[in-house]
Amino acid sequence: MSNDAIVHVIDDDPGVRDSLCFLLASEGLAVRAYDSADAFLQKTTSTPSGCVVSDIRMPGIDGIALLRRIKTNGWCVPVVIMTGHADVPLAVEAMKQGAVDFVEKPFDDERLLSTVRGALERSVSAARQEAETGEIRTRLGTLSERERQVLEGLIAGKANKVIAYDLEISHRTVEIYRANLMTKMKAGSLSELVRMALVCDVAPR
């Protein structure tokens, strides 16, 4: 788990907020508290590290609206929603809007901690995937136009000779371009190359 991962606690009830922060901090987790979703959004300018734990019923921007704002901002951060016993329909809606889980108040401490730990693990996984995607995009940027065309042909499942025919070049030239792009992309196999391309949504024109 990343050392800079933070649990962002959002709740307008100071009692619940303080209790949550104490519980999480006692488990060695870094915690940052906000008395409203608006306060969280105002202090957050990019994808926050860690995860968000937010009440679903709050004045102003409630939990559902917060999830929509997070999605609109393009932030890839796991969100756990806290609900009351009568809020199951709202909890389901929260899941549809991207919440990774929800816990009911009054919550069991171990249940909450387990849910938060799970969200933090997802955050680490998402951060790694985002870093990997960025690295692959950088490699794609080093390809020449012809290498990119050969890559698109491979993604389309075309054989080298078909790619050569489509591009009006020799079969041997396609092999050279293919070897070059494998090297530039640091791909150990064709399947790995295709996986990289699909991760970055590269598609045949």
Given this structure, which CATH class describes domain 141-199?
Answer: mainly alpha
Q: Give the model confidence (pLDDT) of 145-163 as tens digits.
A: 999 999 999 888 889 999 9
Residue 82: name the closest of 31, 25, 28, 8 by CA: 8
Q: What is the helix, strand, coil percentage profile of the chain, to 5?
A: 55, 10, 30
CATH code: domain 6-130 is 3.40.50.2300
Contact 160, 171 (CB under 8 A): yes
Report d(CA 11, CA 32) in Å as an integer.
Answer: 11
Report d(CA 36, CA 46) in Å as an integer.
Answer: 18
Residue 29 tokens, joined: 């987790």
Report whether the peptide linkage leading into residue 106 is cis, meaning its omega lies within 30 degrees of zero. Answer: yes
| Identical fold, 6-130 and 141-199 | no
Global pTM reads 0.67
205 band by pLDDT with thresholds 50, 70 and 90: low
- Domain layout of the chain by residue ranges: 6-130, 141-199
pLDDT at 1 over 70: no
Q: Give the model confidence (pLDDT) of 74-116 as tens digits.
A: 888 999 999 887 677 888 889 989 899 998 888 889 999 999 9
| CA 10 to chain centroid | 20
